[in-house]
Amino acid sequence: MKALPNKIVIVGGGSAGWMTACYLARAAELTGSFSQQTLHDQQTRHSAQGCSITLLESSSIPTVGVGEGSTPYLRHFFAYLGVEESTWMEACNATYKMGINFEGWNKSDDSPPSRTPSYFHPFFSALDVPTAEHYFTAVNQRRHGQPSNISESHYFTAAEMVRQNIAPNTIVDSANIDYAYHFDAGLLGEFLKHYATSKGVNHKVGNVTKVPTFNDNIQAIQTDLHGTLHADLFIDCSGFRGILGKKALNRSVTSYADTLFNDAAVAIPTKRSDIIKYQTRSVALRHGWQWNIPLTARTGNGYVYSSRFCSSVQAEQELRSVLDEGTNLKNTPARHLKMQVGRLNTHWAGNCLSIGLSQGFIEPLEATALMLVQYALHHFIDCWQQPIPDTRKHALYNNEMNRMFDGIRDYIAAHYYLNTRNDTPYWVACRNEMKVPDTLAYLLKEWDRGANFEDALNEVDANLVYLRPSWYCIFAGMRRFSPPTGDRVVETLNPHQMLKDILRKMQKPNTETC
């Protein structure tokens, strides 16, 4: 494995900065770039000989710090670091996540609250293969006018585990259940900081004052407290500000604002739930959606909305009104955030790599932010190892990162375009004014005309990040169907009972279903 650059400087802390520091410190350790030495306090840490990593973090600029959900990809991150799941979860007030329940996204004007439609987007596991095939068949029957059972909870392991409140750590390891996490973002940053510094990452607190550049390269970083910092590789983790990539190197941005209208959020925590459900709730509100995320110490809540249709004051009032069910939240402060939705066109060129919010952001609907950080790091290491000229490495990297961002955007956009709400101009605009991405437009056309959806997915496979089960779940969950005309299909098998039987067999001894 090729050694990393001799000297790396990361600008910015937060989740992205410290994830980057951890990942690269571990990669350097695996390449033999780091060696161990014993300190005077008898603790053992790693110090860089062939590779030194410095993280410069501002004391005056706060991190975003409200991200509280992940995809299953995060499991691989901690496995790569060699950190036990129970260790970091306990430190970060983390809970398990089996998927996302979408509530009210296709609510009609006259639907009473008790009848608000919902659907579940599960994480797909190998255990689902037998029953999921029945789901795909049922959905395609429904597409062609035949009434059929298309409830995700009857076909997918994750949905049934949420229904029964079965934690994934009670399932035998051989089942290879796919799952993710909820966590306290602030505590996660602190945990990663401790890991990185224990591996020899040099932590400096200060601000960037000037960044002299030449072509695509940063010559150095001038700081207020630490003089001039030189490096072979500079990594921009400075968030939406993009101190290195956007500002110093003037890298161009592709905006998603004409497709994804949400550009702001407000967050208010509430007390811990008595019963922790292993799911994120995404509840459609008047001008966007509310997240509800259970942690062991509190519940995370937020409202992601479009400032074109709703002011920050109105958004906070609406969020407080849906949260304040017998609980006085007047003294609980709200945190307001602005979002820049889009991506850089060039993520890596010369000696500067942009990671995290500095390279792009797609709103938090499917909790993909940390996944993109992790994927960007993994892909960087892969490209760095290639025995090809740097310009080709950069091209490979940038093309793949742009594909990832655009592919996630396509799936996120589907949630809004498929809504059937007419209660506010916001939801109507999501259908009528959105610039529909080409891949999504093609899948919609093929779905609506009754074509073979498997063939349609295969046709655009190179553009997809979300795969077959996810696309079926969102199209069916949002009820993208004409009214049924045929007789109800008689099921010869009971997929839901099959699913329950599979789960019962896969539970570890001495564990019970809640």
Residue 302 is assigned to a ligand binding site: no
- What is the DSSP track for 166-191? --GGGB-GGG----EEE--HHHHHHH
Residue 359 pLDDT > 70, yes or no?
A: yes
Residue 441 is assigned to a ligand binding site: no
- What is the DSSP track for 370-415? HHHHHHHHHHHHHHHHSSS-HHHHHHHHHHHHHHHHHHHHHHHHHH
Nearest Cα residue to 434 out of 193, 260, 173: 260
- What is the DSSP track for 152-168? GGGT-HHHHHHHHT--G
Burial class (CB within 10 angstroms; exposed 0-12, middle 13-18, buried 19+) of 512: exposed
In a domain, 46, yes or no: yes
**373 contacts 237 by C-beta, under 8 angstroms:** no
Crossing angle for the helix pair 14-31 and 369-385, nearest 10 degrees?
30
Residue 69 DSSP class: B
Same domain, 110 and 249: no
Instruction: Note the pLDDT of residue 349.
Output: 97
Helix/strand/coil percent split, the chain, to 5: 40, 20, 40
Residue 366 is assigned to a ligand binding site: yes
Tell me the pTM.
0.92
Q: What's the rounded Cα separation, in Å, for the pair 293 and 243?
A: 31
Number of domains into which the chain is organized = 2
Instruction: Note the pLDDT of residue 48.
Output: 40
Among 30-39, 356-365, 451-460, the range scoring the smallest mean pLDDT is: 30-39
Same domain, 42 and 104: no
Please, which pLDDT band fits residue 114 given cuts at 50, 70 and 90? very low
Same domain, 18 and 64: yes
Q: What's the rounded Cα separation, in Å, for the pair 38 and 478?
A: 58
Same domain, 201 and 89: yes
Handedness of CA 358, 364, 370, 371 (dihedral sign): negative
Instruction: Note the pLDDT of residue 46.
Output: 42
**Mean pLDDT rounded to a whole number for the chain:** 90
Instruction: Note the pLDDT of residue 422.
Output: 93
Range of the domain at 80: 7-93+183-256+343-385
In a domain, 222, yes or no: yes
**SS3 sequence, 452-475?**
CHHHHHHHCHHHCCCCHHHHHHHH
The domain that holds 327 is classified in CATH as: 3.30.9.10
Residue entry with tokens 């000229």: 389
Same domain, 103 and 252: no
pLDDT digits (tens, 9 = 90+) for 167-212: 999 999 989 999 999 999 999 999 999 999 999 999 999 999 999 9
Same domain, 190 and 214: yes
Residue 208 is assigned to a ligand binding site: yes
Reading the block at residue 179, the tokens are 């799952």
In a domain, 394, yes or no: no
Same domain, 281 and 248: no
Among 21-35, 301-315, 447-461, the range scoring the smallest mean pLDDT is: 21-35
**146 contacts 487 by C-beta, under 8 angstroms:** yes
Please, which pLDDT band fits residue 273 given cuts at 50, 70 and 90? confident
Residue 16 is assigned to a ligand binding site: yes
Catalytic residue positions?
97
Q: What's the rounded Cα separation, in Å, for the pair 481 and 475?
A: 8
pLDDT digits (tens, 9 = 90+) for 3-30: 899 999 999 999 999 999 999 999 998 8
Q: What's the rounded Cα separation, in Å, for the pair 475 and 448?
A: 10
Residue 465 is assigned to a ligand binding site: no
In a domain, 471, yes or no: no
Instruction: Note the pLDDT of residue 31.
Output: 75
Residue 223 pLDDT > 60, yes or no?
A: yes
In a domain, 277, yes or no: yes
The domain that holds 214 is classified in CATH as: 3.50.50.60
pLDDT digits (tens, 9 = 90+) for 45-91: 444 447 999 999 998 766 655 568 999 999 999 999 999 999 999 99
Residue 462 pLDDT > 80, yes or no?
A: yes
Residue 381 pLDDT > 50, yes or no?
A: yes
Distant-in-sequence, close-in-space partners of 79: CB < 8 Å, separation ≥ 6: none
Same domain, 197 and 238: yes
